Structure 1
Amino acid sequence: MEAKTRSRGVVVAGFAVAVLGAYAAGHHNAVGGQPIVQGLEPVAAQVPSAAPSVAPSGTPDFSAIVSAYGPAVVNIRVKHLGGQSADGSDQPSSALGSGFIISSDGYILTNCHVVDGADEVTVRLADKRSFHATVVGADKTTDVAVLKIDADSLPTVKIGDPSQSKVGEWVVAIGSPYGLDSTVTSGIISAKARTMSDDAATPFIQTDVPVNPGNSGGPLFNLKGEVIGINSMIYSRTGGFQGLSFAIPIDEAMHVKDQLVKHGSVSRGRIGVGVQSLDQDAAKSLGLDTPRGALVGSVDPDGPAAAAGVQNGDVILSLNGQPVTDANELPSRVMQLTPGADVPIEIWRHGAQKKLTLTVGTAQSSAQRAAGAEPRPHAAPAKLGVAVRPLTDDELQQAGVDSGLLIEQVQGPAARAGLQPGDIIVGVNDTAVSSVDELRQMIAGSRGRVSIVIARDGAQMSVPVQLG
């Protein structure tokens, strides 16, 4: 499994970061008509000497964090030389973003999208000094980039542990929205391990911290003054903040940073499975006391998991000695495994635990996946608007069908036609469907209206769908 993500409970191996309506938080002077939420510029530096005080209203006083760590937050200015106009003159463009210093000798973390394709990168410190920056490395999959400036004795941030943070806790962002340096905003953690789409590999920290263009790459602090995330994008229909912002967990970013600094690129583990979360009913049917682990919905027959003996219908309880409480946790865990390493995996099968050992494979790059070098086990046909997965043998028997695909999520044309999560697609235009690839091919080759045969509540029906 590579970077996996969830689409209404379905986690799929190997995709890149993207979400409908979500925009990277980087500030570009000319955006070409597409709204982009842009750069938060964080403030970071030294650990505050005391915890934030509480104002009479009950809101924490964040001034100690800002004072201690603000000097380590930087403004990033990027130039793209671009092409030439009709009269032969250059048409350069520029962009703004944020970043934060992680070592006193000048290493800086920011977002990949802030510096992507840059011809010149300039870092301006809180004390107004400016430095030319070198891009040490950038990783599009996680949207993390490492910069280096020629300076020493710099203020740095303190790195925290995102796993210790809780939903509802206060967090603080420092950045340069719209180029306004050292802007401080606050809010709470709204959710953790938020996967955004079939293309997202990162389990984001969701907050309601106001972030806007220019905030990208800035730090997200907890009340101890520790950085727990990199502010990366917002969900917006307007291009401006609408209450939903997302940060890359700092532990994942630091893992990427270590590889970029050492090797200039990032290698990721792969085990070759597609998984989904378990609800109470599904856990009970499998004999589990509580909904935990990741239910295996598909196994790459040529992948590491298959070679180790993992099967469809297994529940992955732990990987490399770490418990798996939910399917959302698995993608980043797998990505951080070392290719070629032998790791233990514990599964639940037929009411009993079973221990296996698998040899971690190497995930393909986002460019290779985009070129179609790697299958997407649960990718939903875009024109139909569903996310689906194959049924287990038990589910096929319970539904009374020989083959079919369980609908996990519905939107667009499928939703308008009345298809629902839990429906089983058994055919398209009277042709039986048994795999995601078959459904994708049928929909890709269809135009206008198609007839989707579904099984629902023990009965089958044909539903006409006008494709998007």
Structure 2
Amino acid sequence: MAVGGQALPSLAPMLKNVTPAVVNIASKTRVRERNPFFDDPVFQQFFGLPPEQERTEQSLGSGVIIDARKGYVLTNNHVIAGADRIRVTLQDGRSFDARVLGADPGSDLAVLQIPAQSLHALPVADSSKLQVGDFVVAVGDPFGLGQTVTSGIVSALGRSGVGDGYQEFIQTDASINPGNSGGALVNLAGQMVGINTMILSPSGGNVGIGFAIPSDLALNVMRQLIAYGSVRRGTLGAQVQRLDGPLRRALKLPADDAGVVVTRVAADSSAARAGLRVGDVLQAVNGQTVDSDVALGTLEGLLPVGQPVRLRVLRAGRALQLSVTLQGPSIADTEGGMLDPRLAGASFSDIPPSQREQGRYGVAVTRVLPGSAAARAGLRVGDVVIGVDRAGVTGLRGLDRLLRRQPRAQVLTLLRGGRGYYLELH
């Protein structure tokens, strides 16, 4: 387009290559509810009402084609969580049932696969090179209206503390509305720099504060989901504290030195075996700066288990390089949120072999954080999960499998104080 003979800048040429890679995702979930009139003898006498009734919930979101040959689509976990059927619709109108290859509530990412030919994949940029002020464009399907494009800039980088899970969000003022979740945030070269995921708003509408998962983080999670179906997270086994002014002065550190101070090193942990000590200043992990406990937790959650990791440490003013191999959490430390978001805040363990020999089976609840989703659901320390709906549970693998197969399961069967107990999940 030209005005007065002068060509005007336009995003249209770039978007022609981007929009075919952004898809609409529609999910359907069957929800079973207890009939509120079932216990009323009058209604029961005249109408013979069933104890439960079923309804279907539908939701809309977006996704991004990452691998055209294999049909891989990246989206948010919350777009497809609990769905019984997932339908992916392309820009050209073709529609396919999708298979979930893996989902990760911790990063709010999921990978789908569709049996389609002639797909168009979106190229991915290195999100670590983004700068505040860079122009970006959000592409998605807000409110189910159809594919929509909004533009803005990168408002901030490395945002955390705005939700649950592992966070180092890109903040943008490009409009991200309901249905945009799972869509692409792209740079002006038409490359994906993030997956749109959430907004911060007192009213529920867009106020110019949107968040996207950086592409580097998203690809790391995607590779693990494709390979394993879940993310294998490890831990250093160290607790850290942010460096404030008084602490810097006490440790005689320059004001501009990044890092966190190590306050605890668990015995027989990866950190202990690497030689990390209380009082060390941890500055970087695999070359990435660490400036808070949240940043360290995010890095731990994304680094590969069983592979060497480099730590840059300051000890009494002397720079050190340590090598550590992250170990996975023990079976007793399995986090409930990895099994089902409604169990977040609880830890589970398999029944010990000695007790199995005595005929006991199931999954023990070893910890419940106050105020967590698991606590609100009614779980208690000492409970033993022995069933999901009508299916028996003998161990953690079985519990995980049943919750994945029946993600909207409503009732857990527990042993509590030696007596049977039913717990309804919402």
TM-score strictly above 0.5: yes
Determine the structure 2 residue equivalent to 1:245.
Answer: 210
Instruction: Read off the aligned partner of 1:133 and give its amino acid letter.
Output: A
* 2:324 pairs with 1:349: no
Aligned partner of 2:346 in structure 1 is 371
**Number of the residue aligned with 2:29:** 80
Change (3 A) 1:274 1:65: farther
- 8 Å contact kept, 2:30–2:84: yes
Contact 2:335 2:347 in 1 (8 A): no
Q: Secondary structure at the residue paired with 2:67? A: coil
Within a 5 Å distance, the mapping from 1:452-467 to structure 2 comes to none
2:17 is matched with which residue: 68, 75, 80? 68
Residues 1:136 and 2:101 are matched in the alignment: yes
Question: Which amino acid in the other structure matches residue 159 of structure 1?
Answer: V
Provide closer, same or farther for how the CA distance between residues 90 and 281 of structure 1 changes in structure 2, counting only shifts above 3 A: closer
Percent identity between matched residues is: 42
Residue type of the alignment partner of 2:211: F
| Residue identity matched to 2:336 | A
**Distance in 1, Cα, partners of 2:96 & 2:309:** 44
Q: CA deviation at 1:170?
A: 1.2
Instruction: Please give the per-residue CA displacement for 1:258-290, whole angstroms capped at 9, x wherever unaligned.
Output: 111122121012102233433566445433342
1:100 maps to a residue whose letter is V
Q: 1:244 to 1:197 in 2, by over 3 A?
A: closer
Pair 1:207-2:176 in alignment: no
| One-letter amino acid of the structure 1 residue matched with residue 319 of structure 2 | Q
Distance 1:265 1:76 in 2: 21
Out of 189, 203, 209, the residue aligned to residue 224 of structure 1 is 189
Q: Is the 8 A contact 2:106 2:164 kept in 1?
A: no
Residues 238/297 of structure 1: CA separation in 2 closer, same or farther (3 Å cut): farther
Gap change, CA 1:373 and 1:316, over 3 Å in 2 = farther
- Counterparts of 2:176 and 2:261 in 1: how far apart (Å)? 36
Q: CA deviation at 1:356?
A: 2.9
Corresponding residue SS for 2:208: coil
Cα distance, 1:330–1:224 mapped onto 2, change above 3 Å? farther
Return 105-114 or 348-357, whichever deviates more: 348-357
**Cα pair distance change 1:60/1:145, threshold 3 Å:** farther
RMSD: 2.8
Which amino acid in the other structure matches residue 344 of structure 1? R
Corresponding residue number in structure 1 for 2:59: 95
What does residue 161 of structure 2 align with?
196
Q: How does 1:243-322 map to 2 (within 5 A)?
A: 243-279=208-244, 282-289=247-254, 290-320=256-286, 322=287
1:118 & 1:373 partners in 2: Cα distance?
A: 25
SS at match of 2:219: helix
CA distance 1:193–1:200, change in 2 (3 Å) = same
Report the CA distance shift for 1:312/1:213 in structure 2 as closer, same or farther (over 3 A): same
Measure how far apart 1:198 and its partner are: 8.4
For residue 146 of structure 2, give the secondary structure of its aligned residue in structure 1: coil
Name the SS of the counterpart of 1:178 in structure 2. helix
Q: Kindly tell me: are residues 133 and 198 of structure 1, through their superposed partners in 2, closer, same or farther at Cα, counting changes over 3 Å?
A: closer
Q: Distance in 2 between matches of 1:64 and 1:79?
A: 35
How many Å apart are 1:353 and its aligned residue? Answer: 1.9
What is the alpha-carbon distance in structure 2 between the residues aligned to residue 94 and residue 67 of structure 1?
Answer: 30
Maintained 8 Å contact 2:136/2:188: yes
- Indicate the SS of the match to 2:304: coil
**Number of residue pairs matched by the alignment:** 321
Q: What letter is aligned with 1:66?
A: L
- The aligned amino acid for 1:309 is G
Contact 1:74 1:101 in 2 (8 A): yes
